[in-house]
């Protein structure tokens, strides 16, 4: 059949118009799915350091998931892998740099007129100080220790029979993770000397099915371990604490024979505790060795130049178990012992269930629940030409599932017994910190350009606003609004091998927690004793997270051949070394003696 030039042009125009309509529908679906969620507030520590390609695109890869790590980003993307067995291995090295400045609020009147920023008052020793973390911090499974270093390895393998619609895979990776370590004498130590929090998926079996030539569906099930370790110093700049010191100083010589020993022995409160004095330190370590989750994915390509992807990742519930240790200062021990030093004080302490004997430490078993939220991510990939690809993603995270931190101890904690007098309602065995995180909506854009047949260049940008409420901000939940910038490349090597390189930087140059703005760190309110170690201070933080990542993908037979070649070279090198050692001891080839000898 003959087709005129006019008919062909009209057909092409109709095809393009139809494609634009489909793109418009997909964009509307993506927007509706995200905007009908809770208001945008934040991304936290999810999927920062998983895959080199994803890092270079600033996580804008739902419609173009990265090879074997499609297991996480969109399991339907496994259908795009080659037939046969494919092996992939990668590593990401994050470096976290958190710098802070602490300055007294000149408007703050101080505690009892004695401790504060005004002339003649005892100044907070943290005023005018600064601090920068010395390293990262991570928990190492099996070894059961923390190390002052951050590294995120990945590995996976997939298989698809020729002409089969099914692709099967298994992989391991770290979808959530972060940690830092500060000097023990620095100002940050009062709200997090060190912290390691991570969720490691040690095995995630996955499968995808190509329902039609244009539509693929996928699912993965992650079997993971959640671990948390934390160490912090504790002080309590509060009116009540300052009052104990005022009364302790005023009653040093208030000795009334017999009467004092029966009622209030001097000095009162054992001399008291100053608002800037160290009260205690706290160490805890908890983990859950089996906290599963699942991911669902869809990939739809209605036109060769257009792909739409969507991923749902389930909530992760971790039931943490471990240990804790409170170590109390000498001042604290004296004050607790004073509470039981007379018949009157014993009666009062018994009525209010207050401690009556100072102890140097309290330790035991600890339980807690850690939730990582469900996530929904949707995106499109558009190819206006053979070499160029644009990507756009939107991402909703249900961080509002985290309403509080609640650590349950196996005994009454003296610190909690005392602060209940100020209205703390958590009980003697529950260390509760209110969080009330808000759901997040972030977005990202990416660009991929095929410079040559063997080289593909990538870049991306993602905006991640913080989920932390300003009135509950502290230094443990330290991730503020972040700008995520990524660059990288994909290099095609011989034997169908691909090397992906990704470099990323997440940064915020000025994150502020003003004095008296947060009841978790800077409040001077008498009724918020747990926990405001920076009452009366202004805090400003700079945050930089640097990422360097490599990922190698190849057919499994090529990986086996590579291992054989490496073993062969190792054997040859060992044999060469053995030969070198043999020669000085006559183990080499014998040499004939000269004639005549």
Alpha helices by DSSP H, 272-312: none
CA 212 to chain centroid, in Å, comes to 38
pLDDT tens figures, 43-80? 446 788 899 999 999 999 999 999 999 999 999 999 99
**Mean pLDDT, residues 110-129 taken together:** 92
Nearest alpha carbon to residue 533 among 133, 235, 136: 235
103 by Cβ neighbours in 10 Å (0-12 / 13-18 / 19+) ranks as middle
Cα 441 to its chain centre, rounded Å, is 18
Buried b vs exposed e over 574-585: b needs ≥16 C-beta within 10 Å? Answer: eeeeeeeeeeee
Among residues 42, 67, 44, 73, the alpha carbon closest in space to that of 176 is found at: 44
pLDDT reading at 422 higher than 60: yes
pLDDT (tens digit, 9 = 90+) per residue, 197-232?
999 999 999 999 999 999 999 999 999 999 999 999
Give me the pLDDT at residue 15, please.
42
List the beta bridge partners of residue 499. Answer: 491, 552
- The DSSP symbol for 39 reads P
User: Looking at the domain assignment, is residue 569 inside a domain?
Assistant: yes
Q: What pTM was estimated for this model as a whole?
A: 0.85
Would you mind telling me the total number of residues written for the chain in this entry? 597
- 462, exposed or middle or buried, with CB in 10 Å at 0-12, 13-18, 19+? buried
Please state, in angstroms and rounded to a whole number, the distance separating the CA atoms of residues 485 and 444.
Answer: 10
Residue 263 located in a structural domain: no
Taking the C-alpha atoms of residue 77 and residue 61, their distance in angstroms, rounded to an integer, is 10
Tokens standing for residue 471: 């009135």
Query: Any idea which residue has 């040093």 for tokens?
Result: 252
Position 420 in a domain: no
Has residue 419 been placed in a domain?
no
**Which CATH number covers residue 382?**
2.40.160.60
DSSP label at residue 47 = S
At 467, phi and psi to the nearest 5? -90, -5
> 587 lies in a domain?
no
Range of the domain at 202: 11-238+275-315+373-402+437-581
Cβ atoms of 522 and 515 within 8 Å: the answer is yes
The Cα–Cα gap between 485 and 504 comes to 6
Task: Find residue 551's DSSP bridge partners.
Answer: 90, 500
For 361-408, what is each residue's pLDDT tens digit? 999 999 999 899 999 999 999 999 999 999 999 999 999 999 999 999
| In a domain? residue 246 | no
Report yes or no on 264 lying in a domain.
no
Percent of the chain's residues with pLDDT above 90: 71
Contacts of 113 (CB under 8 A, 6+ apart): 121
* Structural domain count of the chain: 1
Residue 537 in domain: yes
State how far the Cα of 145 lies from the Cα of 251, in Å rounded to an integer.
48
CA–CA dist 31, 27 (Å, integer):
6
Q: What is the DSSP letter of 135?
A: B
Q: How does the average pLDDT of the chain come out, rounded?
A: 87
pLDDT at 45: 66
């Amino acid at each position: 059949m003959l087709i005129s030039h006019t008919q062909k042009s009209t057909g092409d125009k109709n095809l393009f118009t139809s494609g634009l309509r489909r793109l418009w529908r997909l964009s509307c679906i993506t927007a509706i799915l995200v905007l009908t969620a809770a208001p945008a507030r934040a991304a936290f520590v999810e999927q920062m350091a998983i895959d080199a390609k994803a890092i270079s695109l600033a996580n804008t890869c739902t419609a173009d998931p990265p090879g074997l790590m499609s297991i996480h980003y969109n399991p339907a993307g496994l259908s795009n892998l080659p037939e046969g067995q494919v092996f992939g291995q990668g590593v990401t090295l994050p470096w976290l740099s958190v710098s802070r400045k602490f300055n007294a609020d000149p408007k703050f009147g101080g505690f009892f007129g004695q401790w504060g920023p005004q002339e003649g008052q005892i100044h907070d020793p943290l005023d005018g100080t600064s601090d920068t973390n010395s390293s990262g911090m991570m928990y190492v499974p099996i070894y059961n220790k923390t190390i002052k270093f951050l590294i995120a390895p990945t590995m996976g393998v997939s298989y698809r029979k020729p002409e089969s619609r099914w692709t099967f895979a298994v992989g391991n990776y770290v979808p959530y993770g972060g940690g830092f370590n500060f000097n023990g004498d620095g100002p940050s130590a009062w709200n997090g000397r060190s912290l390691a929090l991570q969720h490691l998926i040690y095995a995630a079996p996955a499968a995808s099915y190509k329902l039609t030539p244009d539509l693929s569906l996928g699912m993965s099930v992650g079997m993971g371990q959640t671990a948390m370790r934390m160490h912090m110093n504790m002080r309590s700049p509060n009116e009540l604490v300052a009052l104990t010191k005022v009364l302790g100083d005023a009653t040093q010589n208030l000795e009334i024979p017999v009467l004092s020993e029966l009622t209030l022995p001097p000095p009162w409160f054992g001399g008291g505790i100053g608002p800037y004095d160290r009260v205690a330190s706290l160490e805890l370590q908890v983990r859950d060795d089996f906290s599963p989750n699942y991911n669902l994915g869809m990939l739809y390509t209605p036109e060769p130049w257009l792909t739409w992807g969507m991923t749902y990742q389930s909530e992760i519930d971790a039931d943490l178990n471990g240990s804790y240790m409170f170590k109390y200062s000498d001042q604290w021990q004296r004050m607790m012992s004073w509470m039981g030093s007379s018949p009157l004080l014993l009666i009062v302490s018994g009525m209010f269930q207050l401690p009556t004997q100072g102890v140097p430490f309290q330790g035991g078993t600890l339980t807690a629940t850690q939730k990582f939220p469900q996530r929904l991510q949707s995106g499109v990939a558009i190819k206006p030409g053979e070499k160029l690809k644009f990507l756009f993603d939107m991402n909703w995270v249900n961080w509002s599932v985290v309403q509080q931190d609640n650590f349950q101890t196996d005994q009454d904690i003296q610190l909690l017994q005392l602060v209940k007098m100020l209205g703390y309602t958590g009980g003697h065995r529950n260390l509760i910190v209110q969080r009330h995180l808000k759901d997040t909506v972030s977005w990202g854009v990416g660009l991929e350009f095929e410079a040559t047949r063997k080289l593909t260049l990538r870049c991306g940008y993602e905006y991640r606003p913080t989920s932390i409420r300003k009135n509950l901000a502290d230094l443990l939940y330290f991730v503020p609004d972040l700008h995520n910038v990524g660059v990288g490349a994909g290099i095609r090597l011989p034997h169908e091998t691909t090397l992906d390189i990704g470099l990323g930087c997440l940064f915020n140059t000025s994150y502020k927690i003003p004095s008296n703005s947060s009841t978790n760190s800077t409040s001077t309110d008498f009724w918020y004793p747990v926990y405001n170690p920076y009452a009366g201070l202004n805090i400003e933080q700079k945050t930089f997270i640097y990422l360097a990542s490599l990922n190698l993908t190849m057919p499994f037979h090529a990986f086996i051949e590579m291992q054989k070649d490496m073993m062969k070279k190792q054997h040859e090198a060992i044999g060469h070394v053995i030969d070198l050692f043999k020669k000085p001891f006559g183990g080499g080839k014998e040499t004939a003696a000269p004639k005549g000898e």
